[in-house]
Structure formats: C-alpha cells, structure tokens
Amino acid sequence: MDVLGWLFIGLLCGGISGWFVGTRSVSGCLPTVVVGILGAVIGGWLSQTLGFGQVSGFVGALVFGTLGAILVRIVLKAIEGRD
C-alpha cells in the first residue's frame, strides 16, 4: 500500500475509533490520521502477538487499525483525565 493508502486507512481508523470511545480530545484531520496510524502500528503488533500473523488486505488493516486506535484514544483520555 502506498503512502496515500496508509493515510486513508489512518483517517478511517481514527474516525471510527472516535465513535467507539466517544471523546473529542483529538479533533481535526491531521490528529485523527496520526491516531489512526499509531493505532495501525499497535493493531499490527496485536495481530502478531495474538497469533493472527501479519495483517493483509483492506479489511484486516481496518479492523486491527481501529482496535489499535481505540486503545490509543483510551490512553489519551486517561492522560487528559476528563470524562
């Protein structure tokens, strides 16, 4: 996947994770993409750790990236200390 593909996946994962966590701590396109990309890295690590192997394909990247982005948002929410 090229750079634009990863940015698109990052934006989707970051946006979807905001729906699940329900926080507005990260707002705007660039911070959402950063949360999504960090989430994709964490999601890829989780996939390897849980024995699913390397993530491949759009759906796999979206699922594990979103799971990782949810974790990133939960950590950010805990650091901020707001509800």
71 band by pLDDT with thresholds 50, 70 and 90: very high
Q: What is the mean pLDDT of the chain?
A: 82
For residues 74 and 4, the model is more confident at: 74
82 band by pLDDT with thresholds 50, 70 and 90: low
Give residues with Cβ within 8 angstroms of 65, minimum separation 6: 9, 10, 12, 13, 36, 39, 40, 43
User: Which structure tokens are listed for 70?
Assistant: 């949810």
26 band by pLDDT with thresholds 50, 70 and 90: low
| Per-residue pLDDT at 35 exceeds 60 | yes
- Average pLDDT of span 49-70: 86
